Amino acid sequence: MHLTTEEQAWLAGEAGSAIRRAMEIVAALGNIYGATHLLPVQRVQISGVSYRNIGAAGLDFLTNWVAEGARVHASTTLNPTAMDMRDWAEQGFSPDFAKKQQQVVDTFARMGVGSGYPIPTCTPYLMGNHPEFGEHIAWAESSAVVYANSVLGARTNREGGPGAIAAAIVGRTAAYGLHLPENRIGTLKVTVNAIPRTLSDYSALGAWVGKAAHRAVPYFVGLPLSRGSALWEEKLKTLGAAMAATGAVALYHVAGVTPEALTPVTGARSILAATHTEITIDDLAPGYALLNDPVEDIDLVWIGCPHASLLEVSLVAQAVAGLRLRVPLWVTCARPVKDAAIACGLAAVIEAAGGRIFADACIAIAPVRDLGFERVATPSAKGAYYLRNLAGIAARFASLEQCVEAAIKGKLEIKN
């Protein structure tokens, strides 16, 4: 792999051990994946932030790198933590866990992440980290990666945790995978005959297509969606997140909607490979059924995976206004969204019903059992997938209305 004179010097340790270590990681990834050179990146998004996931070993790894002088040289944002960094006690976290989680965030802040004031979220694109069309970036969170590639037309692979930190330190990523135009062509044509209406319907569609696609690049036709229509970005957000969870989808196209598929598929400029596979989706029920455990009683409803936009918070407020919930209903979002929800009265409506909004946090990477929850309902396929597979608890995946009804009854009746 070709390295510039400056990159070679970094690799030789001439800029210090922290940069040398970062260059070793970036160069190793480039060599593994057959990259010919490195690309400059000005935006990075880091995952691996939950103390529950990284533990003492991960915190030591970060602390040592910072002690060596590691500082980011790109606009860098942080994935969610396990808890609301202010209201963690209300969620049931212990002071000891909260202290450790705070140390993780402080360590990233000392690296310069978020200019020293990180906003933990899996929706950095809603928080000003908004790459341009065609811009090379290095993002780690799978739902953000698929959104950046597909909806914004930026170019990123699914970076791993240390790889993203290394990319932020040297401002470089290796030129392979989805950075290359030839790998951005649709390879799976998905004809949608079913009519997804709600956000959870898009999530169910994504769950099923992700399972079929695995690493393919889906090209959707027939989706009842247009740029600028109601909730179109939220629908694409949840569609992509689900495909990234049940498959390894990091890029998809929607005919006439996403930026690389705005023009019809024709000849040499085609965004759909001449030899592609095809599937047809006639029914959304299999997508819902895929992520439903056989339990009826639930002890938590979780909304906000990926982190909710203010519009999504307003949908929750509408759904619970005037109700009394029997089990907790938690909405997760970025801190500025929570602040806005408080300022415009949405938080008060949700709280009056017995729900709560928690910033910074992702429930799937929290020690959910220790918080007292074993059966969680959610309108997010990705949320259900990770609750099962990361948190190891029972999950129900249903519409927002069904989840709210379940929060009232403490029960989500199995209909599929």
Of the candidates 229, 175, 171, the one whose C-alpha atom is nearest the C-alpha of residue 202 is 229
3 state DSSP class of 176: coil
**Least distance in Å: CB of 269 to ligand F3S?**
33
Q: Which stretch binds ligand F3S (CB under 6 A): 1-9, 163-171, 173-181, 305-313?
A: 305-313
- 187 backbone dihedrals φ, ψ, rounded to 5°: -120, -5
305 contributes a contact to ligand F3S by CB under 6 A: yes
Question: What is the per-residue binding string for ligand F3S in 252-271, x denoting contact by CB under 6 A?
Answer: --------------------
Question: What is the per-residue binding string for ligand F3S in 63-102, x denoting contact by CB under 6 A?
Answer: ----------------xx----------------------
383 contributes a contact to ligand F3S by CB under 6 A: yes
301 contributes a contact to ligand F3S by CB under 6 A: no
HSE-up of residue 124 (Cα within 13 Å, Cβ side): 31
**Least distance in Å: CB of 362 to ligand F3S?**
3
Q: How many other CB atoms are there within 10 angstroms of residue 205's CB atom?
A: 27
19 neighbors 170 (Cβ within 8 angstroms): yes
Q: Which stretch binds ligand F3S (CB under 6 A): 104-112, 263-271, 304-312, 335-343?
A: 304-312
Among the listed residues 48, 124, 247, 306, the single contact to ligand F3S using CB under 6 A: 306
List own/partner pairs for 127-130 with CB under 8 A and 24 or more apart.
Answer: 127/77, 127/334, 127/336, 129/43, 129/45, 129/75, 129/77
43 contributes a contact to ligand F3S by CB under 6 A: no
* Footprint on residues 396-415 left by ligand F3S (CB under 6 A): none
The Cα–Cα gap between 306 and 333 comes to 8
**Least distance in Å: CB of 363 to ligand F3S?**
7
Of the candidates 172, 165, 169, the one whose C-alpha atom is nearest the C-alpha of residue 73 is 169
Among the listed residues 54, 126, 216, 241, the single contact to ligand F3S using CB under 6 A: 241
- Classify the phi-psi angles of 92: left when phi > 0, otherwise alpha if psi is within -120 to 50, otherwise beta: left
Q: Which stretch binds ligand F3S (CB under 6 A): 29-37, 223-231, 260-268, 299-307?
A: 299-307
143 contributes a contact to ligand F3S by CB under 6 A: yes
**Least distance in Å: CB of 1 to ligand F3S?**
31
Residue that has been written with the tokens 């196209």 in this structure? 253
Binding residue count for ligand F3S, defined by CB under 6 A = 15
Burial class (CB in 10 A: 0-12, 13-18, 19+), 378: buried
Looking at beta carbons only, is 174 or 334 nearer to ligand F3S? 334
Looking at beta carbons only, is 315 or 364 nearer to ligand F3S? 364
Q: Which stretch binds ligand F3S (CB under 6 A): 178-186, 215-223, 368-376, 379-387?
A: 379-387
End-to-end CA distance of the chain: 52
346 contributes a contact to ligand F3S by CB under 6 A: no
126 contributes a contact to ligand F3S by CB under 6 A: no
247 contributes a contact to ligand F3S by CB under 6 A: no
| Residues listed for the chain | 416
The Cα–Cα gap between 133 and 71 comes to 27
Kindly give, in sequence order, each residue whose CB lies less than 8 Å from that of residue 301, ignoring residues fewer than 6 positions away.
325, 327, 328, 329, 330, 376, 377, 378, 403, 404, 406, 407
236 contributes a contact to ligand F3S by CB under 6 A: no
Burial class (CB in 10 A: 0-12, 13-18, 19+), 256: middle
Query: Which residues contact ligand F3S by CB under 6 A?
Result: 79-80, 122, 141, 143, 241, 305-307, 332, 362, 364, 382-383, 386
